[in-house]
A and B are shown apart, each in its own frame.
Chain A
Amino acid sequence: MNGAQWLVQALVAEGVDTLFGYPGGAIMPFYDALYGASLRHILVRHEQGAAFAANGYARASGRVGVCVATSGPGATNLLTGIADAMLDSVPMVVITGQVPTPLMGTDAFQEVDVFGMSLPVVKHSFLVREVEALPEAVRDAFRLARSGRPGPVLIDLPKDVQTADASHLPPHAPAPADALPAPLHGPLDDALALIEGAQRPLVYGGGGIALGDTVGVFRAFVEATRLPTVLTLRGLGALPASHPLNLGMLGMHGTREANLAVQEADLLVVVGARFDDRATGKLDQFAPRARVVHLDGDAAEVNKLRHAEVAVLGDLCLALRRLTRAQPDCDDWRAQCLSRKTEYAARYDAPGPSVYAPQLLARLSALAPEAVVTCDVGQHQMWVAQHWRHTHPRRHLTSGALGAMGFGLPAAIGAQLQDPASQVICVSGDGSFLMNVQELATLGRYRLPVKIVLLDNQRLGLVRQWQQLFFDGRYSETDLSDNPDFGALAHAFGIAAFRLERADGVEHALHCLLACEGPALLHVCIDADANVWPLVPPNRNNAQMLFNPEDADAPLPA
C-alpha cells in the first residue's frame, strides 16, 4: 500500500462518501488509488467548481466537504472556494498534489507554494513531507475542520509521499470534534439580568446559530422569551420567515422593521453574529442606545468591533438553554415591532408586464417550501435573502462574507449530492452564472436535478445600481446586453431550458421548471433598471435607508 492508497482508505474510514476534484500530474497517484475505490468522485470542470461544490455539500449537510486538485494551477484555482469557506466558517478538507519533495523549492514544473498562498484563508494547513506524518495530518485536518468555529484545512501532498510505502502506517482513526467549553455561570446570570431589565430588547442572530447546530434551541429561546428578532444574511432561516417574532434581515438591504428595531433597541442579544459591516452600516451609529450581550463560540469575535457589556463564550446551545428562562417585560416594545412588520410588509403587486423578480422568488419558495436554495452574488442574491420564505439556514446557501460570484451553480451541485432526494434550486444572475458556467457539464454528466433560475437583467445589476445611485449614472463596464443565448447554452450541455419574459407567464413557467425530472434552466428576462430596496447607503446608519423612489408610500430619506 502506498501513501495515496492509505489516504483513500482513510477518507473512507472518516466517513467521506463524496469528493469533488480534477486530476493532474502531481495528484496522479491519488487518482490511481481512487480507481475502483468505493469513494464517489465527482469530476468538475474547473477546480473552483470543486471547491464550491465541496463547500455547498458542507453547508447543506453540516459535514466536512472534501475537494482535490493537482499542484500549481489546480491548487491556485481552488483558492477562492477555500477563502469562501474560511470567511463563512464552512468545514472543508482540501487536498492538493505537490511536486516531489526533492524538486520543491527549485521552481519545478507546476510548483506553487499553495501552503504559503493559502495561509490567510485556511483554518490550518499541513505540508506532508514524509509519509509517516500522513496519519496525524489527516486526523487533525478533519478534527480541526469541524471543531469550534469550522473552517477549511489544506493538506498539501508531494507526489513522492503519495507513492511512498505506507504499509507500516496504522489505519486511520477518526477523531471527534473538540467540544466547545460550557459557558460560565457569572456571565449567564448577568445576561439574564440584562434581558429581564431591558425595555426594548432585541435578538440579533447570525450564521453561528447553524454552525453550532443550535437552530432548535435558538427557536425555543425566542419563543420562550418572545423577544423580537432580526437575522443576518447567514442567519436567515434560524427562525422561519413566517415566524411572528421574526422581523427579517438587518443591514444594508435589511427590512425597515429590522433596521428601525436595531436603532431603537436598548439591549441587543447577539447570538453567533459578528457585527459585519454589511449588517451594521456605520458602526459607531449602530444600535446607539443598546447594551450588548454577546453569545459566541469564538472568543475572538467578542469586543472585536463592538464592546459587549456581557460576553457569554462557549457552547451556544448550553447558553441559550439557560437563557430560555428569562422573562423580559416588554409587551409594548414587542407590539410596536410587530405592528411595523405588518405595516411595512413587502408588496408584490408591481405594475407593468415585466417579471418582478421578488414576486417570482416569493412564489417559487412557496411552491418549493422544502427546497435548498443557492445563489450567486448581486441583486438576485439580495432578492433571495429578502423574499424567499426561508425555513432553515442550511437550506439557504449564499456566499455571505466573501460575496463570490460563481458560487451558486457548483454549490447547488454539492447540495444536491449530499442529499439526492432533496430539491435544489440555484438562483443566479447573468453575470455570476458565466463565472462557473462550465459546471453545467457536471450537472449534465451526473443528471443532477438542480433547477436553475437565471435572472437576466443584461447587467452586472448590483454594480449598476451603485453606479446609478452613487457614481452619477456613469455606467462603467456593467452592460451585458450581448449575453449569449442562455437557453441554447443549456441545451448544448443536454439541459432543458425555458424562457420567461412576462409577469403573466410566471406561474406556468415555475410549474414547468419544477415538473422537470432532470436539471433545467429557467431563463428569466427582467428589467435592466430594477433595483434592490431598501438600501442603506455607504457610511450611513441603518435608520438612513433609501426606498424605491417610484413607490408612492416610501418615506423620504432620514
Chain B
Amino acid sequence: MHRFQLDLTLRRAEGALVRVLGTVERRGFRPLGVEGETRVDGDRWHLRLAVEGERAPGTLTAQLAKLHDCLAVEATPCR
C-alpha cells in the first residue's frame, strides 16, 4: 500500500477539481484528505491531496500531469 501526498497546481477552470478527484479514484486510489485554496492571483488552485492505493504513485502522477488544467503535480510519501 502506498500513501502519499499530491501537491497540485491547477488552472482555476470549471471542472478542474472534479477532473483531478475523478482521475484519482478511477485510477485506483482513495483520497484520504483534501485541502486547497485559490491564491491571491486568483487564477490558480493549489491543492493538497493525501491518497492511498496499491499502484505505484508514478502511475497516478503521470495521468494527472496529462490533464490540461493540471499545471504541476508532485507526489511525496506520507509519513
Contacts and interface: CB of A to CB of B under 8 A. Distances in A.
A304 interface: yes
Given A115-B15, A304-B59, 13 more contacts: A119-B22, A120-B22, A120-B26, A123-B68, A124-B68, A127-B15, A140-B68, A299-B65, A300-B62, A300-B63, A302-B62, A303-B56, A303-B58
A303 B62 CA distance: 10
Interface in A110-150: 115-116, 119-120, 123-125, 127, 129, 140, 144
Contacts, number: 34
A304 B18 CA distance: 23
Interface in B1-33: 14-15, 18-19, 22, 26
14 contacts: A116-B18, A119-B15, A120-B22, A123-B68, A124-B67, A124-B69, A127-B15, A129-B14, A140-B68, A300-B62, A300-B65, A303-B56, A303-B59, A304-B59
Contact of A127 (B14, B22, B68, B69): B14
Contacts of B62: 299-300, 302, 304
B63 to A, nearest CB: 5
A298 interface: yes
B39 interface: no
B79 interface: no
Interface size class of A (residues with CB under 8 A): 10 to 19
Contacts of A129: 14
B10 to A, nearest CB: 13
Given A115-B15, A300-B62, A300-B63, A144 B68 contact: yes
A232 to B, nearest CB: 21
A79 B69 CA distance: 22
Shortest beta-carbon contacts, A-B, top 4: A300-B62, A124-B68, A300-B63, A299-B62
A125 B56 contact: no
A119 B58 contact: no
B37 to A, nearest CB: 23
B18 A119 contact: yes
Interface in B38-79: 56, 58-59, 62-63, 65-69
Contact of B66 (A127, A300, A304): A300
Contacts of A298: 66
A303 B15 CA distance: 28
Nearest to B58: A303
Interface string A284-313: 000000000000001110111000000000
Nearest to B60: A300
Nearest to B25: A120
